[in-house]
Chains A and B, each alone.
Chain A
């Protein structure tokens, strides 16, 4: 398959999946329980994403490094009710500084 074919097929499949979420008949996601599941889906996916971004290294193993330190600072700032930007900047600074001094 040529590179252009690969690129365009990937794009078409990605858009098809995105659009599918909008074309699912409302009846499929109505009702108390189904509605609850759908509302909880982004929470499940995004929490899993943050977990993987923070704790999983190459090859899928658990790795504790500057990423976790950054997230820990973010959670600390959230507990102190810090502003969104402060939380994000605090995590970035922590991870960046730890890496600058050579800790992973």
Chain B
């Protein structure tokens, strides 16, 4: 990271990063209503539902908890499945902690906000101030939207119906793709992405949901540790 990359952001860049962050927050927040409704339907109280969105704050893990409990599974199985899905947040933290440079209570806040969306918007930015701005704005936007919509879903039920009707699942995938896009055009990141996609696809039929994505982390290890002569580019 060069010194120039630490220079303050121009207003146009600042606005562009905010726009990305807020649109990701909006699309993700809408899913909170599904979670709130499903959680109450699975037998959790409104307070338990809200506690998951406030304290666990990781969509995949939250759906896993209420899914296992709703299907009559035990608490241990619910905690185990949820925790397995949470491993990727820990792996994100290795990288986000490096560009956020946080300590004290800010480190606790950053850790709680470390999820797919905030990480994706953060690492997608080329300059460090934009990485920080993207991470924080996305994290806070998703946190507020997700918790508000969880409450709505828990109290009034699933008022908007299946989010897939509006293509919100495709919107989420497209947002991640758009954020990854500039880095996938060549070099180590592209090789990592292709390898990770193959690992996830090939192992999905035989492994429990969530595990293939974590296993795909090995793609980063394989490409990152490959001896330099075999690499054709450098990941930034």
Contacts and interface: CB of A to CB of B under 8 A. Distances in A.
A91 B174 contact: yes
A79 to B, nearest CB: 9
A96 B174 contact: no
Interface stretch (B3-11, B143-151, B152-160, B189-197): B189-197
A17 B197 contact: no
State the main secondary structure of chain B at its contact with A.
helix
A9 B79 contact: yes
B221 A37 contact: yes
A37 B91 CA distance: 11
Given A22-B97, A40-B188, A48-B199, A10 B111 contact: no
Interface in B81-121: 82-83, 86-98, 102, 107-108, 110-112, 114, 116, 119-120
Interface in B171-187: 171-181, 183-184
B167 A70 contact: yes
Residues of A in contact with B, size category: 35 or more
B174 A38 contact: no
Interface in B218-236: 218-221, 223-225, 235-236
A50 B196 CA distance: 10
B235 A42 contact: no
B139 to A, nearest CB: 11
Interface residues of B, number: 99
Contacts, number: 308
Contact of A92 (B83, B90, B171): B171
B97 to A, nearest CB: 4
Contact of A84 (B20, B75, B86, B172): B20
A50 B176 contact: yes
Nearest to B45: A3
B32 to A, nearest CB: 16
Contacts of A62: 201, 204-205
23 contacts: A7-B56, A11-B55, A14-B86, A15-B111, A15-B112, A19-B93, A20-B90, A20-B93, A37-B221, A42-B95, A43-B220, A44-B220, A47-B200, A56-B212, A60-B207, A60-B209, A70-B174, A74-B177, A75-B177, A78-B181, A87-B175, A87-B178, A92-B166
